[in-house]
Amino acid sequence: MKNKVLLMIADGLGDRPCEELGWKTPLEAARKENLDRIASWGSSGIMDLWQCGTPVGTDLGHMILFGYGLPDYPGRGPIEAFGEGLELQPGDIALRANFATCRDGLVADRRAGRIRQGTRELAAALDGMQVEDVQVLFKEATEHRAVMVLRGPGLSSAVTDADPKKEGLPIRPVRPRDGSPEAERTARILDRVLVRCQEILSQHPLNRKREAAGLLPANAILTRGAGQMPKLEKTVEKYHLKAACVAAESTVLGAARLAGFDIYTDPERMTGNLDTDIDRKVELAVKALADHDFVVLHMKAPDLMGHDGDPRGKVRAIERYDAMAGKVLEEIPKLTGFNLILALAADHSTPCERREHSGDPVPIVVAGKNIRKDQVTEYDEIHGAQGGLNRMTGHMFFQFLMDYLEVVPKEGN
């Protein structure tokens, strides 16, 4: 029978012993009978996403789980652009952008009073702009955030940020970061684009209304984090795969779109936080499994609690994740026509004590009728290290799952 894989990813799951939890990790301390059932059913291990001791970001961590490696990483800008639904082409320069308020040539508010409404219209007014032979794509993101893409020949991502990073300073002129003519050309064009943005935004009726209502106008754009889209084969093409991703968070969705995965999301009900609707998530995952061989089901909350340095909060987030795993287990008997392989992973560790990502390995499980079954019966960082998968890199883990889908060509004869 055909195998299909459902990969559950708990963002930032891995941790270290926490004093507040009697020197247990949040995963050891949590009630997690469903995750333990899955561990009992399959083979466990620990995974270094890229290499032992190297922390990775959420973007790179997910890219690795979706079939790529560090050399493929295009920078944050392109992944954010994919996350907002822009389909980048090789050579495109993508930048993270803010709507901001400028007054008398200085940045008065880097977030335009944390503008929440009307950014779609403002972005539409900028989208499609042409400067020299470069086309500008512009798309609003959450709140004051947006993404900008420069499309044209001979561009470079080696340019400085226009964002001065604090208020009261002028927008920084964009400078080339190397001596290449491409960087010089990109800096010149981007500066002209930003001037045009100010001209267009300051005359936009929506900003007049904001000012009339006593709100700060979103009359300027600040850019940062330029990245150039490399020539990357989509994972779905490389492996002749039908893949899907169920997630709320735009970075994860960006990495999934970049890999060519179909997106299942629901901004009304899935939040990227503890209050996310896990019924809806599992419903979408089951739906995706009907016509995809590889489905990712993501939960953000454990990572947020790690960044907050909140071990008890992380325990609660993990218990939500366990509840989501329970709903998946309930669905399995109803899934017919294929053999389900269930995998548990994380994109990196976010130890509460560090409040940042670390290079600690994350616990993994692969379970299914036809998966070798080891003696591990608990899902955590410690028991994982005793398991039948041993210690793997993220690439090994991905390749292992792909081999179960029979899409890895045999070498030799």
Does residue 68 touch its own copies according to CB under 8 A? no
Distance in Å, CB of 81 to its own copies, minimum: 14
Q: Give the residue carrying structure tokens 């981007």.
A: 190
Considering only residues 71 to 110 of the shown chain, the ones binding its own copies according to CB under 8 A are 73, 75-76
Of the listed pieces 137-145, 259-267, 272-280, 383-391, which binds its own copies according to CB under 8 A?
383-391
Among residues 13, 56, 222, 317, the one that binds its own copies under rule CB under 8 A:
56
Cα separation, 332 vs 198, whole angstroms: 54
Give the nearest distance from C-beta 57 to its own copies in angstroms. Answer: 3
**Residue that has been written with the tokens 């499609």 in this structure:** 128
The two tokens of residue 328 are 């998946």
Q: In the set 229, 244, 246, 392, which binds its own copies (CB under 8 A)?
A: 392
Question: What's the number of CA atoms in the CB half-sphere (13 Å) around residue 101?
Answer: 16
Question: Using the rule CB under 8 A, which residue among 2, 168, 334, 413 binds its own copies?
Answer: 413
Exactly one of 20, 40, 57, 242 binds its own copies (CB under 8 A); that residue is: 57
Q: Hey, what long-range contacts does 401-405 have (CB within 8 A, 24 or more apart)? A: 401/5, 401/7, 401/294, 401/341, 401/343, 401/366, 402/67, 402/239, 402/241, 404/3, 404/5, 404/341, 404/368, 404/371, 405/3, 405/4, 405/5, 405/239, 405/241, 405/293, 405/294
Minimum CB–partner distance for residue 87 and its own copies (Å): 21
Nearer to its own copies among residue 51 and residue 130 (C-beta) = 51
Binding mask 134-153 for its own copies (x = CB under 8 A): --------------------
399 touching its own copies, by CB under 8 A: yes
Q: Cβ closer to its own copies: 103 or 355?
A: 355
16 binds its own copies (CB under 8 A): yes
The residue with tokens 């994740």 is: 321
Within 316-375, which residues bind its own copies (CB under 8 A)?
351, 353-354, 356-360, 369-375
Q: Are 344 and 38 in contact (CB under 8 A)?
A: yes
